[in-house]
Amino acid sequence: MKEKQFAEMVFALAKKQGFDDCEVLVSNHREFEVVVSKGKIDNYTDASSKRATLRAIKDRRSCFATTEILDETSARFLVESAYENFMITDTLDEDDIWAERPTKGPFEYEDAFERVSVKEKIELAKRMEEKCLSYDKRIQHVIMSGYGHQRSEIWLFNTKGLELTESFGYGAAFVYLVASDGKKPKRGFRAMYGSHPNEVDVEKVALEASSEAISQLGAQPVKSGKYKVLLRRDVFAQLFFAFSSIFSAEAVQKGLSPLRGKLHQKIAAETLSLIEDPFFEKLPMKRSFDNEGVPTTRKSFIDHGTLTTFFHSIKSARKDNVKPTGNVFSQRCVPLNVILPEGSLGYEDLIESVGEGLLVIALDGLHSGVRPVSGEFSLGANGYRIADGKIVEPVEQFTVSGNFLDVLQKIELIGSDCEIVSANWFGPSVVVSELDIAGS
Amino acid sequence: MLEISLIEKIIDYGVSKGADFVEIFVEDRFDTRITLIDGRIDSASSERDFGLGLRLFKQDQQVYAYTNDPTEKQLFTMVDRLIEVLQIKSAEPKTVNLMNLDVKNSHVIVLNPLEVSKMEKARIMKLAYEGAKNYSNLISQVVVRYWDYDQKVFIANSEGTMASDRRIRTRLMVTAVASKDGEQESGFYGPGASMGLEFFNFRDPKDIGAEAARIADRMVRADHAPAGRMPVVIANEFGGVIFHEACGHALEATSVAKSASVFANKLGQKVAADCVTAVDDATIPNAWGSSNIDDEGTVTQRNVLIENGVLKSYLVDKFHAKMMNTKPNGCGRRESYKYIPTSRMSNTFIMPGKYLPEEIISATDYGLYAKRMGGGSVHPATGEFNFAVMEGYLIEKGRIVKPVRGATLIGKGIDVINNIDMVGNDLARGQGMCGSISGSVPADVGQPTIRVKELIVGGRKR
Are A146 and A34 in contact by the 8 Å Cβ rule? The answer is yes
Q: Long-range CB contacts (< 8 A, 24+ apart) of A111-116?
A: A111/A30, A111/A149, A111/A151, A111/A169, A111/A171, A112/A171, A112/A195, A112/A196, A112/A197, A113/A32, A113/A149, A113/A171, A113/A196, A113/A197, A114/A32, A114/A149, A114/A151, A116/A197
Interface of B with A in 86-125 (CB under 8 A): 86, 117-119, 121-122
Taking residues B2-24, what's their average pLDDT?
Answer: 96
What pLDDT does B252 receive? 97
Q: Long-range CB contacts (< 8 A, 24+ apart) of B5-10?
A: B6/B72, B6/B75, B7/B98, B7/B156, B7/B162, B8/B96, B8/B98, B8/B156, B9/B72, B10/B54, B10/B75, B10/B76, B10/B79
B355 interfacial to chain A (CB closer than 8 Å): no
What pLDDT does B1 receive? 63
Strands B223-224 and B399-405, bridge-based pairing: parallel
Distance between CA atoms of A27 and A6, rounded to whole angstroms?
12
Complex prediction ipTM? 0.95
Return the residue in A68, A81, A114, A379 with the most chain B beta carbons within 10 A, the one to mutate for interface testing.
Answer: A68
Most distant CA pair in chain A: distance in Å?
Answer: 74
Are A435 and A294 in contact by the 8 Å Cβ rule? The answer is no
What pLDDT does B381 receive? 86
Facing residue for A368 by CB, picked from B225, B388, B460: B388
- Name the packing angle between helices B72-86 and B4-16 (round to 10°): 20
Residues of chain A with Cβ-Cβ distance to B79 below 8 Å are none
Distance between CA atoms of A197 and A208, rounded to whole angstroms?
18
List Cβ neighbours of A326 (8 Å cut-off, separation of 6 or more). A278, A289, A290, A294, A295, A296, A297
B81 interfacial to chain A (CB closer than 8 Å): yes
B77 interfacial to chain A (CB closer than 8 Å): no
Tens of pLDDT, residue by residue over A323-342, are 999 999 977 899 999 999 99
Taking residues A101-121, what's their average pLDDT?
Answer: 94
Are A345 and A353 in contact by the 8 Å Cβ rule? The answer is yes
Are the beta carbons of A47 and B338 separated by less than 8 Å? yes
Residue in A110, A123, A183, A185 with CA at minimum distance from that of residue A151: A110
Mean pLDDT, chain A, integer: 96
Whether the predicted pLDDT of A367 surpasses 90: no
Are B350 and B235 in contact by the 8 Å Cβ rule? The answer is no
Q: Looking at CA atoms only, how far is residue A404 from chain B in angstroms?
A: 13
Facing residue for B227 by CB, picked from A224, A373, A397: A224
Residues of chain B with Cβ-Cβ distance to A62 below 8 Å are 43
Q: Which residue of B has its CA nearest to A402?
A: B460
Q: Which residue of A has its CA nearest to B48?
A: A67
The alpha carbon of residue A19 and the mean position of all alpha carbons in its chain are separated, in whole angstroms, by 34
| Percentage of the residues of chain B whose pLDDT score is greater than 90 | 92
Q: Which residue of A has its CA nearest to B338?
A: A47
Interface of B with A in 395-414 (CB under 8 A): 405-408, 410-412
Residues of chain B with Cβ-Cβ distance to A43 below 8 Å are 62, 64, 340, 437
Taking residues A248-270, what's their average pLDDT?
Answer: 97
Tens of pLDDT, residue by residue over B209-232, are 999 999 999 999 999 999 999 999
Model confidence at B272, pLDDT cuts 50, 70, 90, reads very high
Cα torsion for A219, A223, A225, A231, to the nearest 10°?
A: 0
Identify the sign of the CA torsion A87, A93, A97, A102: negative
The alpha carbon of residue A276 and the mean position of all alpha carbons in its chain are separated, in whole angstroms, by 12
Are the beta carbons of A91 and B375 separated by less than 8 Å? no
Tens of pLDDT, residue by residue over B359-414, are 999 999 999 999 999 989 999 888 999 999 999 999 999 999 999 998 899 999 88
Residues of chain A with Cβ-Cβ distance to B62 below 8 Å are 41-44
Are the beta carbons of B143 and A254 separated by less than 8 Å? yes
Facing residue for B119 by CB, picked from A41, A50, A88: A88
Whether the predicted pLDDT of B204 surpasses 80: yes
Helix or strand (DSSP H, E) at B79: helix B72-86
The alpha carbon of residue B48 and the mean position of all alpha carbons in its chain are separated, in whole angstroms, by 22
Are the beta carbons of A87 and B377 separated by less than 8 Å? no
Tens of pLDDT, residue by residue over B144-200, are 999 999 999 999 999 999 999 999 999 999 999 999 999 999 999 999 999 999 999
What distances in angstroms separate CA A406 from CA A244, A269, B137, B250, one per listed residue?
15, 10, 28, 36
B39 interfacial to chain A (CB closer than 8 Å): no
DSSP string, A243-263: TGGGGBHHHHHTT-STTTT-T
Q: Which residue of A has its CA nearest to B45?
A: A64
What pLDDT does A166 receive? 97
Distance between CA atoms of B302 and B280, rounded to whole angstroms?
6
Distance between CA atoms of B135 and A49, rounded to whole angstroms?
45
Taking residues B236-251, what's their average pLDDT?
Answer: 95
Are the beta carbons of A85 and B46 separated by less than 8 Å? yes
Taking residues B313-336, what's their average pLDDT?
Answer: 96
- With b for 16 or more beta-carbon neighbours within 10 A and e for fewer, the B377-394 pattern comes to bbbbbbbbbbbbbbbbbb
Are A51 and A74 in contact by the 8 Å Cβ rule? The answer is no
Q: Which residue of A has its CA nearest to B53?
A: A47
Strands B161-180 and B139-157, bridge-based pairing: antiparallel
DSSP letter at B418 equals H
Facing residue for B85 by CB, picked from A44, A66, A436: A44
Residues of chain B with Cβ-Cβ distance to A65 below 8 Å are 45-47
Q: Is A6 helix (H, G, I), strand (E, B) or coil?
A: helix
Are the beta carbons of B46 and A378 separated by less than 8 Å? no
Distance between CA atoms of B295 and A7, rounded to whole angstroms?
34
Q: Which residue of A has its CA nearest to B229?
A: A440
Q: Which residue of A has its CA nearest to B59?
A: A40
Tens of pLDDT, residue by residue over A190-217, are 999 999 999 999 999 999 999 999 999 9
On the CB side of B226, CA atoms within 13 Å amount to 19
Residue in B451, B368, B452 with CA at minimum distance from that of residue B415: B452
Are the beta carbons of A185 and B381 separated by less than 8 Å? yes
Distance between CA atoms of B281 and B302, rounded to whole angstroms?
4
Whether the predicted pLDDT of A1 surpasses 80: no
Are the beta carbons of B408 and A41 separated by less than 8 Å? no
Facing residue for A374 by CB, picked from B183, B383, B459: B183
Distance between CA atoms of A79 and A68, rounded to whole angstroms?
14
φ, ψ at A202 (rounded to 5°): -65, -35
What pLDDT does B380 receive? 87
Residues of chain A with Cβ-Cβ distance to B459 below 8 Å are 378, 401, 436, 438
Model confidence at B260, pLDDT cuts 50, 70, 90, reads confident
Residues of chain B with Cβ-Cβ distance to A371 below 8 Å are 185-186, 406
DSSP letter at B461 equals B
Are the beta carbons of A143 and B260 separated by less than 8 Å? yes
Q: Looking at CA atoms only, how far is residue B42 from chain A in angstroms?
A: 5
Distance between CA atoms of B64 and B428, rounded to whole angstroms?
38
Are B220 and B143 in contact by the 8 Å Cβ rule? The answer is no
Model confidence at A105, pLDDT cuts 50, 70, 90, reads confident
Whether the predicted pLDDT of B2 surpasses 90: no
φ, ψ at B216 (rounded to 5°): -60, -45
Task: Quote the pTM value.
Answer: 0.96
Residues of chain A with Cβ-Cβ distance to B375 below 8 Å are 365, 367-368
